[in-house]
Amino acid sequence: MSGLFKSFLFLFLIITITLPNTVNGARIKDIASVKGIRANQLFGYGLVIGLNGSGDKDGTTFTVQGLVNMLEKMGIRLQADDVKIKNVAAVMVNAMLPPFARIGKKIDVIVSSIGDAKSLQGGTLLLTPLKGVDGKVYAIAQGPISVGGYSAGGAAGGGVTKNHPTVARISSGATIEREISFSLKDKQELTLILNNPDFTTATRAASAINLRLGVTIAKAVDSGTLKIAIPENYEGGAVSLLAQLEDTDVSTDSVAKVIVNEKTGTVVIGENVRLSTVAVAHGNLSIEIKETKYVSQPQPFSPRGGKSGPVQMEEGTIVAPGGSTVVTPDTSVAVEEEKKRLLLLPKGNTIGELVRALNAVGVTPRDLITILQAMKAAGALQASLEII
């Protein structure tokens, strides 16, 4: 074996041992974001016109006032009592201003009714300024809206509704008028923020970045932050560096976690969940109480209270002084208890073994929620149990 081959073999073994496992890894661009590069929320108050009688009712004060104010700015003066708004609806318009958005770029907007309009179908949004949290106008929205549903009803109150007709969308309905200043030029350092903070993931991400560039420029500051120093005279600067690093694969890690949604009966269990030795038995007790009412009808002309008497006539009706009709209840109670086997789960069982074992006992998702809560209380579930 030549010396050159031995050197290559030794280098291969070193890389194999030290390189983190990237099987089923995630790209850095999918697990982290650059500090300062983010979207900003915009919102504004506007009016949707052209509705076919499905707008706000006349008692909606802010819609009437908004329409009167708009007409006054156009030189039309009138009283609020003279305005009918059944074809107009007051709406809130919101949008997301993407990072590095420039003046003239088009963005989508969402239009939502804030009054008692029945539907926004067929309406047109009037010119609406969209502001940020600083009160400045960053975009202007206007145009025909798309509802994606409908609502139809009759005078008697019945009707049919599909989807949500009081929320609409305008594709490319707003034009950006102001930019948010943020530049990567002359940046000496970048900060990456992990979407799911984890010390192991942060350390692996820093190692993967350093290995990719062949120089130590990244370090994990904490479980959710990475600092990346931009090398001097790096061609392309921060933009080129981010483009090179964002598709780097990193094997992510996370704490063992079980998510339970009791409202829907949904249970999601992470792959790192482990169990201590525990025995599980779960049985349901069903109690059914049924009550049936029977009518006891006496025989014709039967004696009342054991006494008999003659048949009497009252205004042409035969009246018997005998027995009366009564209702007698009959109650039945049935109790059934499911017989379940005692299930022993050894220490260190994985999530697959846990699911197979619980399926063997025939538990439902609702039962599984109860079992997991009991196992967590007993200290046998080595995971974080979150109920949402």
Residue 48 CB coordination number (10 Å)? 27
Q: Read off the pLDDT of each residue in 181-193 and give the average, rounded to a whole number.
A: 87
Domains of the chain: 40-148+162-176 (no CATH), 183-250 (3.30.70), 258-285+339-387 (no CATH)
Q: Where are the beta strands (DSSP E) in 25-120?
A: 26-27, 32-34, 40-49, 88-97, 106-113
Burial 360-369 (b: 16+ CB within 10 A, else e): ebebeeebbb
| pLDDT on residue 368 | 78
Q: Read off the pLDDT of each residue in 350-361 and give the average, rounded to a whole number.
A: 68
Mean pLDDT estimate for the chain: 79
| pLDDT on residue 372 | 82
Contact 108, 171 (CB under 8 A): yes
Band of pLDDT at residue 159, cut at 50, 70 and 90: low
Local structure of residue 304 (DSSP, 8 states)? B
| pLDDT on residue 351 | 63
Residue, of 75 and 290, whose pLDDT is higher: 75
Beta bridge partners of 15: none
pLDDT surpasses 60 at 317: no
Helix 237-245 to helix 199-213 angle (10° resolution) is 110
Band of pLDDT at residue 16, cut at 50, 70 and 90: very low
| pLDDT on residue 237 | 82
Residue 11 CB coordination number (10 Å)? 10
- Nearest residue to 139 (alpha-carbon basis) of 191, 108, 175, 193: 175
pLDDT digits (tens, 9 = 90+) for 362-381: 677 777 788 888 888 888 88
Quote the CA–CA distance of 41 and 94 in Å, as a whole number. 7
Q: Read off the pLDDT of each residue in 159-179 and give the average, rounded to a whole number.
A: 87
Burial class (CB in 10 A: 0-12, 13-18, 19+), 25: middle
pLDDT surpasses 50 at 240: yes
Quote the CA–CA distance of 345 and 323 in Å, as a whole number. 68
Q: Read off the pLDDT of each residue in 273-295 and give the average, rounded to a whole number.
A: 67
Contact 20, 204 (CB under 8 A): yes
130 Cβ neighbours under 8 A, 6+ residues apart: 42, 43, 44, 93, 94, 95, 109, 137, 138, 139, 140, 141, 174
pLDDT surpasses 60 at 4: no
Burial class (CB in 10 A: 0-12, 13-18, 19+), 124: middle
pLDDT digits (tens, 9 = 90+) for 212-227: 988 899 999 999 999 9
- Regarding pTM above 0.85, the answer is no
pLDDT surpasses 60 at 2: no
Quote the CA–CA distance of 386 and 268 in Å, as a whole number. 10
pLDDT digits (tens, 9 = 90+) for 245-278: 988 999 988 888 888 887 887 888 887 888 777 7
Q: Which two tokens stand for residue 282?
A: 């779960």
| pLDDT on residue 27 | 93
